[in-house]
């Protein structure tokens, strides 16, 4: 076995077919054993619930090579748990946590030659997902489901340095109160596509969504949670029932508190107070944390004093520490790093 002939430093964030993926089917009230397969296409009824009523959920995590050459992944148990929460909300069967973590390990092992080497800043992105697969025409949950987990190598999120981005306050809503904003469902992304295309057309890199009910509180972007830093170095993240609980954000809050000794707060953040913050970052698996330099509110620019031209000191330190933990150069909290090979 040898590493695939891939220019690791120059692959983007796109899909590349790898050798094996895991597939398990749910029928007659239970999941089958599941298999690793080379088959990368899916054949389902033209009337499958996923195609008609968008009954689908997903997860995203990564496997990578540590400084000492181990292949590991980061907190897959939390992805498994979150996927169970997503499944319940969409009336889907849950895929058991132990089996989820096992599937992650199997898929990474079966595609080990696609795991980018340490230092390339590339990773093997893992995409578990599940969908209602049998024909449903009256609106109701499917009876049959498929769980799949594939792997695709992805390049460094920040090619050529990390530059703070400009985002805009979005006039579209992402998640209703008591809706589905807190789960990782495809439907949340389908309806965000227009908003993100529109943002890009207007020259902004992301949307800042406010709470749908009052439009006075900060929620998140289409795919990342916010962290803010106050003048006195307190790390603040918005609290809301309609935010997707980012594993990266939860990990960074622990890092801030336990590794950097900073004060942390998860609380409602009113939009009016963001001009008081000195740094802002977006957290998610792909980029860990990316700096936001400026928020554009219908033409009014809110600039973060310590992070508008380059990544601010607290966000930098958070990023450095979490990536150090992930890469094995800083001791990790118990259970955060799961060794595969």
Ligand X SMILES: *Cc1c(COP(=O)(O)O)cnc(C)c1O
Handedness of CA 16, 19, 22, 23 (dihedral sign): positive
End-to-end CA distance of the chain: 14
* Minimum separation from the CB atom of position 332 to ligand X (A): 16
CB closer to ligand X out of 226 and 304:
226
Closest distance between ligand X and the C-beta of residue 47, in Å? 28
* Cα dihedral value 23, 88, 180, 193, nearest 10: 10
> Which stretch of DSSP H or E encloses residue 125?
strand 123-132
Which residues make up the interface to ligand X (CB under 6 A)? 60, 184, 220, 223-225, 244, 246-249, 283-285
Q: Which is nearer to ligand X, 195 or 283 (CB)?
A: 283
Would you say 123 or 246 has its CB closer to ligand X? Answer: 246
The distance of closest approach from Cβ of residue 315 to ligand X in the complex, given in angstroms and rounded to an integer, is 15
| Cβ pair 134, 172 in contact under 8 A | no
* Residue placing its CB nearer to ligand X in the complex, 108 or 136: 108
- CB of 176 vs ligand X, minimal distance in Å: 14
From the CB of 217, what's the least distance to ligand X, in Å?
A: 16
Tokens standing for residue 35: 């298999």
Q: Which is nearer to ligand X, 80 or 136 (CB)?
A: 80
Kindly state the DSSP code that residue 341 receives in the 8-state scheme.
Answer: -
Cα–Cα dist 229/279, whole Å: 5
Comparison of 4 and 89: residue with beta carbon closer to ligand X: 89
CB of 77 to ligand X, least distance (A): 12
Query: Which is nearer to ligand X, 36 or 60 (by Cβ)?
Result: 60
Query: What separation in angstroms does the CA of 169 have from each of 54, 88, 110, 144, 209?
Result: 27, 31, 43, 40, 6
Is there a contact between 329 and 67 (Cβ–Cβ < 8 Å)?
yes
| Alpha-carbon distances of 56 from 133, 134, 241, 246, rounded to whole Å | 10, 13, 20, 19
What minimum distance in Å lies between the beta carbon of 231 and ligand X? 26
Minimum separation from the CB atom of position 227 to ligand X (A): 11
Nearer to ligand X, 110 or 244 (CB): 244
294, containing H or E segment: strand 288-297
152 CB contacts (<8 Å, ≥6 apart)?
14, 15, 16, 17, 18, 114, 124, 125, 127
């Amino acid at each position: 076995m040898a590493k695939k002939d891939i220019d690791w430093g120059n692959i983007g964030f796109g899909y590349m077919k790898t050798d094996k993926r895991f597939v398990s089917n749910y029928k007659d009230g239970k999941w089958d054993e599941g298999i690793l397969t080379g088959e990368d296409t899916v054949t389902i009824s033209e009337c499958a619930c996923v195609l008609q009523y968008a009954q689908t959920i997903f997860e995203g995590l990564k496997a990578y090579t540590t400084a000492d050459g181990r292949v590991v992944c980061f907190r897959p148990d939390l992805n498994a748990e979150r996927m169970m929460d997503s499944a319940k909300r969409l009336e889907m069967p849950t895929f058991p946590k132990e089996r989820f973590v096992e599937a992650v390990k199997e898929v990474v092992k079966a595609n080990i030659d696609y795991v980018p080497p340490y230092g390339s800043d590339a990773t093997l992105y893992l995409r578990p997902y599940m969908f209602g697969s049998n024909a449903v025409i009256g609106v109701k949950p499917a009876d049959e489901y498929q769980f799949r987990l594939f792997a695709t190598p992805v390049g460094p999120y920040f090619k050529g340095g990390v530059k703070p981005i400009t985002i805009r306050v979005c006039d579209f809503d992402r998640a209703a109160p008591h809706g589905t904003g807190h789960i990782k469902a495809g439907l949340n992304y389908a309806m965000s596509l227009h908003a993100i295309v529109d943002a890009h057309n207007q020259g902004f890199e992301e949307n800042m969504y406010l709470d749908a009910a009052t439009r006075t509180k900060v929620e998140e972007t289409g795919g990342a949670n916010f962290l803010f830093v106050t003048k006195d170095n307190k790390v603040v993240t918005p609290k809301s029932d309609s935010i997707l609980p980012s594993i990266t954000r939860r990990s960074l809050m622990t890092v801030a508190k336990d590794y950097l000794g900073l004060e942390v707060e998860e609380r409602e953040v009113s939009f009016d107070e963001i001009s008081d913050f000195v740094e802002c970052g977006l957290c998610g698996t792909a980029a860990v944390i990316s700096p936001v330099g400026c928020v554009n509110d219908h033409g009014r620019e809110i600039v973060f004093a310590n992070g508008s031209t380059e990544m601010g000191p607290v966000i930098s330190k958070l990023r450095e520490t979490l990536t150090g933990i992930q890469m094995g150069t800083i001791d990790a909290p118990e259970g955060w790093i799961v060794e595969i090979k």
